[in-house]
Structure 1
Amino acid sequence: MRHRSLLVVSIAVIGALTVSACGSRDDKKGGSDNAGSGTTVVIGVDAPLTGDLSALGLGIKNSVDLAVRNANTANEVPGVKFEIKALDDTAKPAPGQQNATQLVADKNVLGVVGPLNSSVAQSMQQIFNDANLVEVSPANTGVALSQGEKWASGTKVRPFKTYFRTATTDAVQGPFAARYLYNDAKKAKVFLIDDQKTYGAGLAATFKGEYTKLGGNIVGEEHVNPDDRDFSAIVTKVKSSGADAVYYGGEYPAAGPLSLQLKNAGVDIPLMGGDGVQSAEFIKLNPKSQGDLATAVGLSVEKLPSASKFISDYAAAGFKDPYETYGGYSYDSAWAIIQGVKAVVAANNGKLPGDARSKVVDAVQKVSFDGVTGKVSFDEFGDTTNKQLTVYKVQDGKWAVESSGTFTG
């Protein structure tokens, strides 16, 4: 999901890998050691492990950990043992940039899953690209990350060959939400609010473009600070606007209180957001969230036959925190890196080559497998080829599937 600071990082080319102790886990290490394995490959994880968005971050970390456990148990890459190294970015760009530098400096790291936030990704991309270290995000939806700053005008240029994602972009998510609100929910007047961050502002912009094209009326627009929790002034504006829905570009820590304050003021209209809202934490923050809406990338994991083993394995692993919105996509992101390593090792007589990082980047570009979330592969921009999305509605204290589909422009 968020300003890019460029940092030149020089690193030694990866040679033979040695075992290192790293990773942050729950109560036990992931998987079982490969018999006779002499090479350790580390998969880095960058996510908010503390703070307001930690529910999502911990789900990301745990799901990568599960992928590593399963790869080790199945001896997915003969001669290679996988570990994770999880670092906390607190959902902020500066710590994310520091984490990227730390991961690059660890010669055992051959891939990174994360981050959650697009603004954090912006601070990391150049560092990983300079080091030929592959990065696969399960959650970033900011379009410019993969298609360049001029994507909206039709000029699409991939800025970094090392950047991939298993989540679809806001170029799809925003318009998908707009079509649902206008065509299906019959909401002709929307008050638009965003949190001014890369993810939230971008999502709101793509929503607005499609919604107005369909004939919808934006009856008011406001911007908030993501740390704000008192929305009384905006509630008054929404109430007087005649809006029959609010669209919020941002995340659940602010969206929950905003929706609650609207309902408390008698503004009985749904608030709709994107995947940054579709979390159980939103409902905890807003006991009056019945009828609120959110889109999320892909189809509901709980309804996918391909996810049944992931769900049962996650439960059996005993993680303290749920896999949350991005669990399946995090598992698939890690598995894409594992499959990349597998291809590189197989092509080099069962061993990692000296230029393993750059070769893993090339291998991840070519991966194609049936994952937790469906078919996993990447297009020429490093974006997922899976363009499916789901609209969820809060019903009886839970997010329930309202509709699903594939967006076509």
Structure 2
Amino acid sequence: MRNRSLLVITTLAVSSALSLTACGSRASTSSSGNSSSSAAGATTVTIGVDAPLTGSLSALGLGIKNSVDLAINTANKTNEVPGVTFKIEALDDKKSPQQGQQNATQLVGDNSVVGVVGPLNSGVAVSMQQIFNNANLVEVSPANTNPTLTQGPNWQTGTKVRPFASYFRTATTDAIQGPFAAQFAFSTLGKKKVFLVDNKLTYGVGLVSTFKDEFTKLGGTVVGQDHVTSGANDFSSTVTAIKNSGADFVYFGGEYPDSGPLTKQLKAAGDKIPLIGGDGMYDPTYIKLAQGAAEGDYATSVGAPVETLDSAKKFIADYAAGGYSDPYAAYGGYSYDSAWSIIEAVKAVAAANSGKLPADPRKAIETAMAQVSFSGVTGTVSFDQYGDATNKQLTVYGVKGGQWTTVKTGTFSG
């Protein structure tokens, strides 16, 4: 979940074309009924966003919201779906499952909403999936990585059952991310003894579990394990346990607000071993919170670095030209692609209905999503039978010289 440097675009024509209203549509009012018609005669529909827009993870949430806004602006500007105008409705879940559930209910209750991008956190997604599914409202997450969301609770035993037909994601899963990190730690770094730490939440626990399975399979040893409370400030007992364990690295499941202070306190206690984590750790804020102690730490994240992709050049330029005050962060490209997949499904439904959306298009859009395939910011965007992204790439980043640098991009070979 992360930030990127932005290119500066000075072309006035591009800037003015992308600087639309905050709603990202030609119609600025929200509809509480079925798809409404704008003054120009176009049907206006809403793409919802659910993400942490305030609080400790807002750097990621705002990048998600802005990238969806850019996709909507682009679709309206190019008349991507003739006769349809898109707008955005962004809600703050504050990384809270309870708030996410309330947001899901609110979005379902607005009949103009034809799809939702989000959430950021897997634990929040758990609280929302049933609500969206009951309403046949498509939900596409750019960041959720817990495998149970798409493959059910018994996926690790080989029994994969898709729980919710309305749920999709453009990010790959921890079924790949954890083992990918384990192979990197064991084979590339030569680390053999790990101390595992998670934040007791859905994402962190799941990520540590998949890492542990692969690491021990490779011949590595788990010399200790602990759980921390997300949002805590004092990790001294965990630090002591790590020091006494003889571990040659720590693997952390959780986000940067906790892992940053943990690595700072660990290094301050004299244990200079690296801390490795997942995509929830990959953000410049991690380095800032570590206060100089993050050097030599690593994190994996979904996909290839957006800045290295030819497919992302226009997105990067358009985002800069859009005048957004916050970076697109780690999930910007995936958020744009999530929104665009909804736009593609809307386009398919309209095309199959004489160029118009039906009065209640949600079920048709849910069905159309399974067939969506297009060249997006992050590469080819499509979904498998579980609603998972077919793009399985991951990248290892390391802290060097006080900033994240790309170490390795690839896929897990199990």
TM-score normalised by the chain length of structure 1 = 0.92
Report the equivalent of 2:5.
none
- Structure 1 counterpart of 2:241: 237
Compute the RMSD of aligned alpha carbons: 1.6
What is the distance in 2 between the residues matched to 1:29 and 1:193?
41
- Match for residue 96 of structure 1 among 81, 95, 100: 100
Give 1:256-335 correspondences, 5 Å limit: 256-287=260-291, 288-335=293-340
Secondary structure of 2:74 counterpart: helix
Partner SS state of residue 168, structure 2: strand
**CA deviation digits over 1:54-79, x for unaligned, max 9?**
11111100000000011111110011
Match runs of 1:158-307 below 5 Å: 158-287=162-291, 288-307=293-312
Q: Counterpart of 2:224 in 1: which secondary structure?
A: strand
Task: Give unmatched runs, 5+ long, in structure 2.
Answer: 2-18, 28-37
Once the two structures are superposed, residues 298-356 of structure 1 have per-residue CA deviations (whole angstroms, 9 ceiling, x without a partner) of: 11111111111111111111111111111100000000000000010111111101341
Matched, 1:108 2:112: yes
Q: Is 2:367 aligned against 1:373?
A: no
Aligned to 1:30: 24
For residues 131-151 of structure 1, the C-alpha deviation after alignment (integer angstroms, 9 at most, x for no partner) is: 010000000011110000111
2:176 is paired with a residue whose SS is helix
Higher relative contact order (CA 8 A, sep 6+): 2
Match of 2:298, as an amino acid?
L
Partner residue of 1:84?
A: 88
Q: Answer with 95-104 or 226-235: which moved more.
A: 226-235
What letter corresponds to residue 396 of structure 1 in structure 2? Answer: G
- 1:349 matched to which residue of 2? 354
1:48–1:90 CA contact under 8 A, matched in 2:
yes
Runs of 4+ in 1 over 6 A off after TM superposition: none
Instruction: Tell me the distance in 1 between the aligned counterparts of 2:22 and 2:142.
Output: 24
Between the aligned partners of 1:35 and 1:308, the Cα distance in structure 2 is: 34
State the percentage of identical aligned residues: 63
Query: 1:5 corresponds to which residue?
Result: none
Distance (Å, rounded) in 2 between the aligned partners of 1:31 and 1:43: 11
Structure 1 contact 191–238 (Cα < 8 Å) conserved: yes
Name 1:118's counterpart in structure 2.
122
Partner of 1:149: 153
Q: In the aligned structure 2, how far is the partner of 1:308 from the partner of 1:296? A: 20
Give 1:404's match in structure 2, choosing from 394, 406, 409.
Answer: 409
Q: Tell me the residue number matched to 1:50.
A: 54
CA distance in 2, matches of 1:305, 1:272: 29
How far residue 28 of structure 1 moved from its aligned partner, in angstroms, is 4.1
Q: Which whole-Å CA distance do the structure 2 matches of 1:89 and 1:47 have between them?
A: 5
SS of the counterpart of 2:40? coil
Counterparts of 1:207 and 1:407 in 2: how far apart (Å)? 12
Matched, 1:40 2:34: no
d(CA) in 2 for partners of 1:236, 1:128: 44
Task: Report what 1:340 is aligned to.
Answer: 345
Distance (whole Å) between structure 1 residues aligned to residue 39 and residue 324 of structure 2: 26
In 2: Cα distance, 1:218 partner to 1:404 partner: 26
